């Protein structure tokens, strides 16, 4: 990247001032974060993206790969309710796949913790980003993971199967493999069929070693037996999920298209109502939703964990660059970090380094 | 200048490498005493032998300090980020075969595929409150493999030796390790998943893409390549 740190930092501070002007309280957080919290949240994959370091007394520490987790933690421990925050600082990412990309860069964020009307708050965040980024002629893309979640929750199959699909909603390949299994498109693996054919699969198991106990093995065998007795997920249901995932048009048309799908899948309706109210709120903020792109599969990457509205701003003439800004709603994340508490949250970040590069 | 050829400095890997080159008319030998890591090359001009630990050969190739090197594919792929941009694979030598595999207790009759492993990991985490532990020293390869396989709710714990014993010692629930025969696994009540291995490894001749070559070096490299048929 051809932008120097001083310029990037100055741009970051300018953007933070804009967000502060919009009513956000500036905050800062430690660069070294507990690796355990981040690993529990994102899984082992984050090790490939973040720098892990070791402290003799505090154990594994991670150079912050983003601000979301520390900001949520600070808010949950002593934040006002509602609250709006802004921050500007460096984040650190390993770039094994793209060594040409910087591994240390600034992010400037705007995060809203508010129990008010979610559609209105989603629109507030998006409209603010659109305003700040206006001089740069970027292409905004929006999505809503809540619609996909609603589609899965509406499938005519067992709760266990729906839960397994929901657990993998951010891993598109695995999600697809599960759908293919449940619908009978891929056969039951030979090893599983052979195991289930036995009256007592544990009879010749040999010694049970390790922490996973015989009871746990038997519980899973029972779960697999119950699953094998489940009727196949009808093809029509898989087609509905595919139809939802394929929606890719402007917000107005997308809403119409999804309503059409909801005729066969009424479980989508509450999520579509949220979508429509967000469109209205965006219009009220001066965003032309007849021109705004919507992709139902947008926001399904594993490092983000958006569970509702999701958005990004990309530079179409520079497909080599990552998005200049990304954001979305992450209510589920506050639930997982909150230890019993939760608060709806929506926000986003801008990368000033890329913004400057695009501006040149 | 001469072409520097890096070869494992001891054991069967060294002997078999010497045999492979010898069969093609390039005689490699250790010179001086058994303790001295110096070597000689006969039968071809302007090639010198560098004896190194097999584990250091990937790094030396990537840095361009040796032009050619013999080591396991497992080591190259684990240690070099974007390995194929740093070295070129010239020939598989047909020995040192070993698979990097994932193994679980043989008593886990419900786990044979990555799909099963993911299911068991989710239930394990819910029951025990921490992510299922997989002991290995091949962190990058195993993590990529499990990500491609869609496995979540696991953690890698580092094990630099006696990895097969970690399950019994309650420091891991499963392992990922190099195995050539599987006997050690059976003796430790473990079984290999019925999936493609993480990697099929064998001793392989690599060429450094970073090492500088003079015109004379290029000539020597052509001569050597011709003799080796690579």
Query: The complex's ipTM?
Result: 0.88
Q: Could you tell me the pLDDT band of residue A98, with boundaries at 50, 70 and 90?
A: confident
pLDDT in tens, A234-269: 999 999 999 999 999 999 999 999 999 999 999 999
Three-state DSSP state, A17: helix
Sort out which chain A residues have CB atoms less than 8 A from B144's CB and list them: 48
Do B167 and A167 make contact, defined as CB atoms within 8 angstroms? no
Is the pLDDT assigned to residue A88 strictly greater than 50? Answer: yes
Do B156 and A174 make contact, defined as CB atoms within 8 angstroms? no
Residue B205 pairs in a beta bridge with B70, B91
Q: Tell me the pLDDT of chain B (230 aa) as tens digits.
A: 699 999 999 889 999 999 999 999 999 998 876 666 778 999 998 999 999 998 999 999 999 999 999 999 999 999 998 899 999 999 999 999 999 999 999 999 999 999 999 999 999 999 999 999 999 999 999 999 999 999 999 999 999 989 999 999 999 999 999 987 789 999 999 999 999 999 999 999 999 999 999 999 999 999 999 999 98
Q: Could you tell me the pLDDT band of residue A72, with boundaries at 50, 70 and 90?
A: very high
User: How far is Cα A246 from Cα B106, in angstroms, rounded to an integer?
Assistant: 42
Partner-chain residue, chosen from B107, B116, B144, that has the shortest CB–CB distance to A207: B107
Quick one: closest CA in A to B141, which residue? A48
CA B67 to chain centre: 19
Can you tell me which residue has the tokens 């002997």? Answer: B15
Short-list B106, B103, B132, B102, CA closest to B118: B132
Q: Could you tell me the pLDDT band of residue A55, with boundaries at 50, 70 and 90?
A: confident
Short-list A357, A323, A358, A353, CA closest to A6: A353
Provide the shortest C-alpha distance from residue B146 to chain A (in Å). 9
Provide the shortest C-alpha distance from residue A1 to chain B (in Å). 20
Interface test mutation site (partner B, options A94, A212, A226, A305, max chain B beta carbons within 10 A)? A212
> A125: part of which helix (H) or strand (E)?
helix A118-133
Going from the N-terminus, what domains does chain B have, and what CATH number goes with each? 3-97+202-228 (3.40.190.10), 98-200 (3.40.190.10)
CB A221 within 8 A of CB A229: no
Do B148 and A39 make contact, defined as CB atoms within 8 angstroms? no
Partner-chain residue, chosen from A44, A205, A224, that has the shortest CB–CB distance to B154: A44
Residue B159 pairs in a beta bridge with none
Do A209 and B189 make contact, defined as CB atoms within 8 angstroms? yes
User: How far is Cα B205 from Cα B227, in angstroms, rounded to an integer?
Assistant: 14
DSSP state at residue A37: H
Cα–Cα–Cα angle for B211, B212, B217, nearest 5°?
110
pLDDT in tens, A219-239: 999 999 999 999 999 999 999
Interface test mutation site (partner A, options B109, B111, B145, B148, max chain A beta carbons within 10 A)? B109
pLDDT in tens, A148-202: 999 999 999 999 999 999 999 988 999 999 999 999 999 999 999 999 999 999 9
pLDDT at A301: 72
Structure tokens at A296: 């139902």
User: How far is Cα B93 from Cα A79, in angstroms, rounded to an integer?
Assistant: 63
Which stretches of chain B are assigned E, i.e. beta strand? 3-8, 27-31, 38-42, 47-52, 68-72, 87-92, 98-105, 132-136, 154-158, 174-179, 190-192, 199-201, 203-208
**Percent of chain A with pLDDT strictly greater than 90:** 82
pLDDT at B35: 63
pLDDT at B6: 96
Provide the shortest C-alpha distance from residue B36 to chain A (in Å). 37
CB B201 within 8 A of CB B70: no
Max alpha carbon distance in chain B (Å)? 66
Q: Could you tell me the pLDDT band of residue A129, with boundaries at 50, 70 and 90?
A: very high
**In this structure, are strands A139-144 and A248-250 parallel, antiparallel, or unpaired?**
unpaired
Chain A: residues touching B (Cβ < 8 Å)? 39-40, 43-45, 47-48, 96, 99, 164, 167-168, 171, 173-174, 177, 181, 189, 191-192, 195, 201-202, 205-212, 214, 216-217, 219-221, 223-224
Do B143 and A48 make contact, defined as CB atoms within 8 angstroms? yes
Q: Could you tell me the pLDDT band of residue A1, with boundaries at 50, 70 and 90?
A: very low
Do B113 and A189 make contact, defined as CB atoms within 8 angstroms? yes
Number of C-beta neighbours around residue A204 at 10 A: 10
Structure tokens at B187: 């003796």
Question: What values do phi and psi take at B66, rounded to 5?
Answer: -125, 150
pLDDT at A264: 95
Do A209 and B107 make contact, defined as CB atoms within 8 angstroms? yes
Partner-chain residue, chosen from B110, B144, B173, that has the shortest CB–CB distance to A210: B173
Is the pLDDT assigned to residue A302 strictly greater than 60? Answer: no
User: How far is Cα A84 from Cα A22, in angstroms, rounded to an integer?
Assistant: 9
Q: Could you tell me the pLDDT band of residue A304, with boundaries at 50, 70 and 90?
A: low
Structure tokens at B97: 């075969």
CB B178 within 8 A of CB B160: no
Do A177 and B115 make contact, defined as CB atoms within 8 angstroms? yes
Provide the shortest C-alpha distance from residue B184 to chain A (in Å). 15
Partner-chain residue, chosen from B139, B140, B150, that has the shortest CB–CB distance to A177: B150
Do B82 and A99 make contact, defined as CB atoms within 8 angstroms? yes
Quick one: closest CA in B to A201, which residue? B109
Partner-chain residue, chosen from A44, A201, A207, that has the shortest CB–CB distance to B109: A201
Residue A288: which residues within 8 A CB-CB, separation 6 or more?
none
Do A189 and B82 make contact, defined as CB atoms within 8 angstroms? no
Do A96 and B81 make contact, defined as CB atoms within 8 angstroms? yes
Residue A5: which residues within 8 A CB-CB, separation 6 or more?
none
Average pLDDT, chain A: 94
Structure tokens at A113: 């913790």
Interface test mutation site (partner A, options B85, B106, B107, B192, max chain A beta carbons within 10 A)? B107
Alpha carbon of B53 to those of A46, A149, A225: distances in Å? 31, 52, 51
Indicate whether this model's pTM tops 0.90: no
Which stretches of A130-276 are assigned E, i.e. beta strand? 139-144, 248-250
Interface test mutation site (partner B, options A39, A42, A210, A302, max chain B beta carbons within 10 A)? A210
Do B112 and A167 make contact, defined as CB atoms within 8 angstroms? no
Sort out which chain A residues have CB atoms less than 8 A from B156's CB and list them: 44, 47
Partner-chain residue, chosen from A96, A174, A217, that has the shortest CB–CB distance to B110: A217
Please state whether A119 falls in left (phi above 0), alpha (psi between -120 and 50) or beta. alpha
pLDDT at A338: 84
């Amino acid at each position: 990247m051809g932008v120097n740190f001083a310029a990037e930092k100055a741009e970051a501070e300018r953007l933070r001032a804009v967000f502060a002007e919009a009513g956000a309280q500036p905050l800062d957080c430690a660069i070294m974060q507990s690796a355990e919290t981040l690993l529990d949240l994102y899984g082992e994959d984050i090790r490939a993206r973040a720098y892990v370091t070791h402290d003799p007394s505090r154990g594994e520490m991670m150079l912050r790969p983003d601000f979301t987790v520390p900001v949520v933690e600070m808010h949950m421990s002593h934040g006002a309710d509602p609250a709006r925050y802004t921050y500007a600082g460096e984040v650190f990412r390993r770039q094994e796949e793209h060594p040409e990309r910087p591994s240390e860069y600034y992010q400037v964020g705007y995060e809203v913790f508010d129990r008010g009307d979610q559609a209105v708050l989603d629109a507030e965040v998006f409209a603010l980003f659109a305003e700040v980024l206006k001089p740069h002629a970027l292409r905004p893309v929006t999505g809503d993971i809540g619609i996909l979640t609603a589609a899965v929750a509406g499938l005519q199959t067992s709760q266990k199967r729906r839960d397994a699909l929901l657990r993998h909603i951010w891993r598109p390949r695995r999600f697809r493999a599960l759908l293919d299994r449940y619908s009978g498109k891929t056969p039951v693996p030979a090893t599983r069929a052979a195991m289930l054919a036995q009256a007592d699969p544990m009879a010749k198991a040999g010694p049970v070693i390790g922490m996973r106990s015989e009871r746990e093995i038997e519980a899973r065998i029972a779960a697999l037996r119950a699953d094998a007795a489940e009727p196949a997920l009808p093809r029509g249901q898989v087609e509905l999920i595919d139809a939802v995932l394929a929606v890719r048009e402007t917000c107005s048309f997308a809403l119409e298209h999804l309503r059409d799908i909801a005729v066969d899948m009424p479980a989508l309706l509450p999520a579509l109502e949220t979508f429509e109210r967000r469109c209205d709120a965006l219009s009220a903020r001066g965003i032309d939703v007849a021109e705004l792109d919507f992709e139902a599969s947008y926001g399904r990457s594993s490092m983000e964990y958006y569970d509702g509205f999701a958005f990004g701003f990309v530079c179409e003439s520079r497909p080599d660059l990552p998005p200049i800004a990304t954001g979305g709603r992450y209510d589920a994340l506050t639930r997982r970090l909150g230890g019993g508490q939760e608060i709806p949250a929506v926000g986003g970040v801008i990368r000033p380094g890329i913004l400057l590069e695009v501006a040149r | 200048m001469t072409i520097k050829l890096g070869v494992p400095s001891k054991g069967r890997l060294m002997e078999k490498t010497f045999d492979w080159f010898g069969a093609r008319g390039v005689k490699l030998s250790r010179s001086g005493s058994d303790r001295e890591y110096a070597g000689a090359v006969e039968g071809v001009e302007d090639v010198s032998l560098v004896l190194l630990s097999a584990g250091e050969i990937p790094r030396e190739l990537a840095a361009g300090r040796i032009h050619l090197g013999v080591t396991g594919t497992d080591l190259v792929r684990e240690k070099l980020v974007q390995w194929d941009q740093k070295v070129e694979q010239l020939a598989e030598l047909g020995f040192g075969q070993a698979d990097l595999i994932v193994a679980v207790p043989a008593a886990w009759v419900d786990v044979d595929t990555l799909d099963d492993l993911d299911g068991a990991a989710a239930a394990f985490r819910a029951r025990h409150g921490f992510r299922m532990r997989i002991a290995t020293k091949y962190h990058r390869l195993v993590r990529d493999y499990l990500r491609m396989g869609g496995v979540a709710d696991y953690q890698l714990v580092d094990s630099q030796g006696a990895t097969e014993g970690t399950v019994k010692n309650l420091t891991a629930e499963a392992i990922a390790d190099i195995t050539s025969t599987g006997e050690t696994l059976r003796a430790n009540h473990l079984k290999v998943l019925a999936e493609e291995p993480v990697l099929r490894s064998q001793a392989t001749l690599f060429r450094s893409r970073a090492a500088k070559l003079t015109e004379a070096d290029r000539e020597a490299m052509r001569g050597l390549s011709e003799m080796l048929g690579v």
